[in-house]
Amino acid sequence: MIGDKKIVFSGVQPSGNLTIGNYLGAIKNFSRFSEDYKTFYCVVDLHAITVRQVPAELRRRTYETLALYMACGLDEKKNTLFVQSHVPAHAELGWMLDCYTMFGELSRMTQFKDKSQKHSQNINAGLFTYPTLMAADILLYQTDIVPVGVDQRQHLELARDIGMRFNQIYGDTFTIPEGYMSTDTMKIMSLAEPTSKMSKSDTNQNAVVYILDSKDDVMRKFKKAVTDSEACVRYSEDKPGVSNLMSIYRAFTGKSFEEIEREFDGKGYGDFKMAVGEACADGLAPVRDEFARLMADKAHLEAVMKAGADEAAYFARKTMSKVRRKIGFVN
């Protein structure tokens, strides 16, 4: 809590082009907190290096992710926007919390198991302790609320457990965060494999719609989207492809599932997929235009990075001073 405002923290990795799943499930919803909460939104570049990165690409994507934050509606005057590695306290607290996190807890993390299979030649210690660094990100700012997707709930629960464990040992130190899951949008699934989440690392480019895709690319991908043989636009668990497209259409138009079913009653999937593509492309157009404008002014992005890091570091120092004293470190 800062004054009478609760604190919100979230972060996005600069590890690839962001998808409409990232946009609809996370970034688009961030701005709703800007007026009534103190918000910290971070480009989590330290997390990105658990997987090998090309240095020049990582730098470029860091700028791009910050620009996307802003293009998606995050005003730098109302939100603290910064790069994780610019505030060294994240890594420092991450190491400290490693010492209060149990091996068994980390070994149960499903994302570690999944990523270990995908990156079997590089199962590094950072990949294993990634959730503890995420806990540090959150606890560092005495965060009250974390906007979180389904796939990150397990990590948030671990952050809560670590914070409570530290508080039990040393007394009140960390605010224990609550998760916030938007009810406005469903989890966005792959267009090619609608039983799997849409992933920016998917090797099938037709399965993923990126925020910065051109309208032609968006339309092409939706035309190829998997549906079923029923030829009926109806939301149902046994129709994952159609239901996924309905979720995307609902997110961009604000229409309910019932309204969508009525709109496409008696129409084929071809018309439906074209309509979803149009709604998606039109919804993303202002974001793409603003992103291009921001990326043309790198000096402004760097000024936002610096101002955000300075403000984040100020709040981080307060927490770290308390943590160091309680652990027993000499100032």
Q: Which residues does the annotation mark as catalytic?
A: 115, 197, 200
d(CA 74, CA 70) in angstroms, rounded, equals 5
Q: Quote the tokens at residue 316.
A: 């981080």
Task: Report the chain's C-alpha Rg in angstroms.
Answer: 21
Angle in degrees, CA 238, 243, 253, rounded to 5: 165
What is the Cα 243 distance to its own chain's centre? 22
- Eight-class DSSP state of 115: H
Q: Exposure pattern of 255-287 as b/e (b: 16+ CB <10 Å)?
A: bebeebeeebeeeebeebbebbbbbbbebbeeb
Matching residue, tokens 């157009």: 285
Task: Name the residue among 233, 226, 223 with its Cα closest to residue 259.
Answer: 233
Task: Name the residue among 284, 327, 261 with its Cα closest to residue 100.
Answer: 327
3-class secondary-structure state, position 90: helix
d(CA 128, CA 123) in angstroms, rounded, equals 8
**Dihedral angle of Cα 324, 326, 329, 331, to the nearest 10 degrees:** 60
3-class secondary-structure state, position 186: coil
Please report how many Cα atoms fall inside a 13 Å half-sphere around the Cα of residue 55, on the Cβ side: 0
Which helix (DSSP H) or strand (DSSP E) does residue 43 occupy? strand 38-43
d(CA 55, CA 72) in angstroms, rounded, equals 26
d(CA 8, CA 32) in angstroms, rounded, equals 11
Q: Are 120 and 80 a contacting pair, CB within 8 Å?
A: no
